Amino acid sequence: MGIATQIAQLLLSLLLLVLVHELGHFFAARAFKTRVDKFYLFFNPWRSILRAKRIDKKWRLSWFSPAPPKDWEKNPEDTEWGVGWLPLGGYCKIAGMIDESMDTEAMKRPPQPWEYRSKAAWQRLIIITGGVIVNFIAALVIYSMILYTWGREYIPISNATYGYDYCQTARNSGFADGDVILAVNGKIPETLGDAVEQILYSDGKPVTLFRAGDTLQITLPADFSQQLLASDDLKIFARERVPFVVKEVMRSSPAAAAQLQSGDSIVGVNGTFIPFFAQLSDSLLKYKNQPLQLNFYRNGELLSQEVTPSENGKLGVALRTPLSYFKTKKLEYAFLESIPAGVVLGTETLVSYVKQFKIIFTKEGAKSLGGFGAIGSLFDKTWNWPHFWSMTAFLSIMLAFLNILPIPAFDGGHMMFIIYEMVSGRKPSDKFLERSQMVGLAIIIMLFLFANGNDIMRWLGR
């Protein structure tokens, strides 16, 4: 159910974002009286699930058809709306524009007043940027509504009283489990996320730590961020140290067989005291399918019970979240307060993403690229509306940024050629634009295959 829930959230999020993006193009085109031939959610090679169009002021529907009915051609000024069967995006086919449809036949005819190619350069620029602009605005609106509805709750670093457990790459570079990050390159982070972001951009810079009652400094290697990417440790750089307290026991699990209960605090294995979750998990991994004595507190009494972890070294329990142990900071916003706060949060997210994007242009960064599997894994395995909307807002910002990259077939590629025309006064030929579109589509297909291939290789390597 967990993976199915992630897939459902991913599909719903992408559906909303594609719809918003293409509507941005649609309304911008219609604002300048430019015809939109087709508007499709999902792609429809060879066949569409649904086609809809106004014919003689009445809506007509066509189900599972390979092509629209012939009489639909008599209303070319009205848009054909549809749903395709290939859920990899969507498109808005604007009349007189060389796009992914590669409809070169229409380009052989003289330009018409209602076509994209007949519009002024500044109007075409607005039509092309419409999707990106609406995606960014949508992200700001979502962030604002998240802050208004749920506020923002987090654990300040200073409140993580047990410190943090770190990934192996971090430990190899001087961190120790239990450390608290006080400063990175002289800057004091408020949250663990802030600290990780500062560390990513501070290779070779000092990190101040609080360890066992003392303050000390370590200097990270100059290629520390590349080491994190190469080891795939970036996702779990650090997490709050917490006790192993059972919240819920899963049915037919080793924990259920051992009659563990909600509230049990597990503190050891075979008489060895191990107070924190991460270390206990490591110990359980050594006893896959082997019986052991589990030491735990129940109602203040220290008990021991034999249990046999699963083949994955798991007990089959859900744990209390870190929010249960530490004093959190909760920020709440009135409606009018949430709007500027959402704008700030969205802008900071964009700036952070742009900073991280430079890492992609390295060997390790390229290997870390992911496709639908990597994106889907960012969603919770249980449906969590605040996290779903937060991820949707982030993906909307990511989609907006990626689309303005100056790659032919991306919105940014079209923008690049329009800006060249506005500066030079010379419009690229239709033949040049057609060939550029083909090159851009080839680049996109290669990136798509590479990113999703990385997902497959990571899955096979588990």
pLDDT value of position 368: 62
pLDDT value of position 280: 87
Cα distance between the two ends of the chain: 20
pLDDT band of residue 229 (cuts 50, 70, 90) is confident
pLDDT band of residue 20 (cuts 50, 70, 90) is very high
- pLDDT tens-digit readout, 180-223: 999 998 899 999 888 888 887 766 678 999 998 899 999 888 88
Mean pLDDT of the chain: 86
Dihedral angle at the C-alpha atoms of 355, 356, 357, 360, nearest 10 degrees?
A: 140
DSSP code for 85: S
pLDDT value of position 410: 85
* Pairwise CA distance, residues 88 & 80, whole Å: 19
pLDDT value of position 370: 67
DSSP reduced 3-state for 266: strand
With 80 as the cut, is the pLDDT of residue 109 above it? Answer: no
Distances (CA, A) of 370 to 87, 197, 355, 359: 18, 20, 18, 14
- pLDDT tens-digit readout, 369-411: 667 777 777 788 788 899 999 999 999 999 999 889 888 878 8
pLDDT value of position 1: 59
pLDDT band of residue 365 (cuts 50, 70, 90) is low
Give the pLDDT mean for 61-77: 87
With 90 as the cut, is the pLDDT of residue 345 above it? Answer: yes
Most confident segment among 123-137, 253-267, 316-330, 446-460: 123-137
Distances (CA, A) of 215 to 13, 177, 207, 210, 219: 44, 15, 11, 5, 14
Could you give the domains of the chain? 1-32+119-151+334-462 (no CATH), 37-98 (no CATH), 157-240 (2.30.42), 244-319 (2.30.42.10)
Higher-confidence position of 418 and 429: 418
Residue pair 166/134 in contact (Cβ under 8 Å)? The answer is no
Six-digit token string for 6: 């992630």
With 80 as the cut, is the pLDDT of residue 356 above it? Answer: no
- Which residue stretches of 32-120 are H helix? 104-107
- pLDDT tens-digit readout, 239-270: 889 898 999 888 888 888 889 889 889 999 99
pLDDT value of position 105: 64
With 80 as the cut, is the pLDDT of residue 454 above it? Answer: no
DSSP reduced 3-state for 89: strand
pLDDT band of residue 137 (cuts 50, 70, 90) is very high
The candidate with the shortest Cα–Cα distance to 403, out of 414, 387, 393, 394, is 414
Residue pair 260/267 in contact (Cβ under 8 Å)? The answer is no
Give the pLDDT mean for 236-240: 86
pLDDT value of position 381: 79
pLDDT value of position 131: 92
Percent of all residues in the chain with a pLDDT value above 70, rounded to a whole number:
92
Residue pair 245/263 in contact (Cβ under 8 Å)? The answer is yes
**36-43 and 80-83: which strand pairing?**
parallel
DSSP string, 356-416: HHGGGGSHHHHHH---HHHHHTTS-SS--HHHHHHHHHHHHHHHHHHHTSS-TTSHHHHHH
- Whether this prediction's pTM lies above 0.85 is answered by no
Least confident span in 48-52, 73-77, 238-242, 416-420 = 73-77
pLDDT value of position 129: 94
